[in-house]
Amino acid sequence: FSKEIDQLKVEDVSTLDGEKINLHVNIGGDIEIEQLKEFKCDGIGLLRTEFIYMENDKFPSEDEQIKMYEKVYSALPENKPLIIRTLDIGGDKKLGYYDMPHEENPFLGFRAIRFCLENLDIFKTQLRAILRAGYNKNIKIMYPMISKVEEVVRANTILEEVKKELEIEKLNYKKDIEVGIMIEIPSAAIMAERYVEYVDFFSIGTNDLTQYVLAADRLNKLVSNIYDPYDIAILNLINHVSEIGKKYNKKVSVCGEMAGEPIAIILLIALGIKDLSMLPSFIPRAKKIIKSIDLKEIKKYKEKILKAKNSQEIKKLITKLLIGVV
């Protein structure tokens, strides 16, 4: 069995009917950067840059960030994409060297892009670092916690300002960098169509999307029975975003924790998702599942999933398909 895992780590896989499902990894620290070299994948779907800020004793400089982004990129197979998510601080993530305002509901508060748009020096330093590290590389940028179109427009305006500055300074940078947003707040999922003209891709963050759709704190054990990424409301929303992506030819990936779970892999593929991003250690099992499924067969389950009574019914349905696979 362990020999099979070793083989799967480095294998390139497709479905029985020859379709490619892209398997990306989520990186949130040094351990995963190390693991990257071991597990062959199709890129980094989510670089959680918070760890660079949290491990430091002050806001990391432009050069420190460039070094880190280059280090992460060099651990990837050649020319595979690296999606760098801009700082998602706040919520449960604090910095030792910065006093965040006290908030009654930090998860509904001053977090991620909201913080960055009010702290332009910090935001611009990161954008400069990403643009410069991206020169001649397959690096993309992604904004977290988007709840309104105006936030994307404003972030993109700042990105253009930063490009102009780099131009004046005659520094090399990635001029045609692709920009994406996390879909992790219900308003963005519902109104996904309004965002297509401002972005190149979407990435669905089911960890936060689940907590905001169901109003159940992702860290609170008292409501962990309500916090359920397989809830029919979540799956119908994912399907909605997936259909918008298809209609406008924008890539839609899923980078929440569920993307690495066997049942979710089948489910998400049935809903038209072809890009999954997960912890590196989940990659072999995901490959095993992909190798064993027929995409056309799986897609037949879409309506059943969307019309199911509840998540138990969906899980039962999908578990049957997984018998003998994992």
The contact set with ligand PEP (CB under 6 A) reads 46, 48, 88, 184, 205-208, 255-256
Our answer to whether residue 41 is catalytic in this structure is no
Residues sharing a CB contact under 8 Å with residue 325, sequence separation 6 or more, in sequence order: 262, 288, 289, 292, 293
Q: Does 43 bind Mg ion (CB under 5 A)?
A: no
Q: Is 208 annotated as a binding residue?
A: yes
Q: Is 103 annotated as a binding residue?
A: no
Q: Does 257 bind Mg ion (CB under 5 A)?
A: no
Q: Please give the residue whose beta carbon sits closest to Mg ion in the complex.
A: 208
To the nearest whole angstrom, how small is the minimum distance from the Cβ of residue 208 to Mg ion?
4
What length does the chain have? 326
**83 φ, ψ (degrees, to nearest 5):** -95, 115
Q: Is 285 annotated as a binding residue?
A: no
Q: What's the token pair of residue 277?
A: 């991003």
To the nearest whole angstrom, how small is the minimum distance from the Cβ of residue 273 to ligand PEP?
14
Q: What's the token pair of residue 111?
A: 């977090």
Q: Is 200 annotated as a binding residue?
A: no
Which of 199, 255, 259, 273 does the annotation list as catalytic?
255
Query: Among 208, 228, 231, 275, which residue sits at the site for Mg ion (rule: CB under 5 A)?
Result: 208
To the nearest whole angstrom, how small is the minimum distance from the Cβ of residue 121 to ligand PEP?
23
Residue 135 is given by DSSP the state T
Residue 319: how many other CB atoms lie within 10 Å: 12
Is 205 or 245 the residue whose CB approaches ligand PEP more closely? 205
* Contact partner at residue 206 from ligand PEP, Mg ion, none, CB < 5 to 8 Å by partner kind: ligand PEP
Q: Is 78 annotated as a binding residue?
A: no
To the nearest whole angstrom, how small is the minimum distance from the Cβ of residue 165 to Mg ion?
29
Separation between Cα atoms, residue 272 and residue 252, nearest integer Å? 9
Q: Does 205 bind Mg ion (CB under 5 A)?
A: yes
Separation between Cα atoms, residue 26 and residue 275, nearest integer Å? 12
| Alpha helices for the chain (secondary structure H) | 2-10, 30-36, 50-54, 62-74, 113-118, 120-133, 149-168, 186-190, 192-195, 206-213, 232-248, 262-270, 283-292, 295-299, 302-307, 311-322
Q: Is 111 annotated as a binding residue?
A: no
* Contact partner at residue 48 from ligand PEP, Mg ion, none, CB < 5 to 8 Å by partner kind: ligand PEP
Read off the amino acid at residue 5: I
* Contact partner at residue 242 from ligand PEP, Mg ion, none, CB < 5 to 8 Å by partner kind: none
Is 125 or 211 the residue whose CB approaches Mg ion more closely? 211
Residue pair 241/204 in contact (Cβ under 8 Å)? The answer is yes
Residue 93 is given by DSSP the state B
The residues annotated with a catalytic role in the active site are: 255
Binding stretches for Mg ion (CB under 5 A):
184, 205, 208
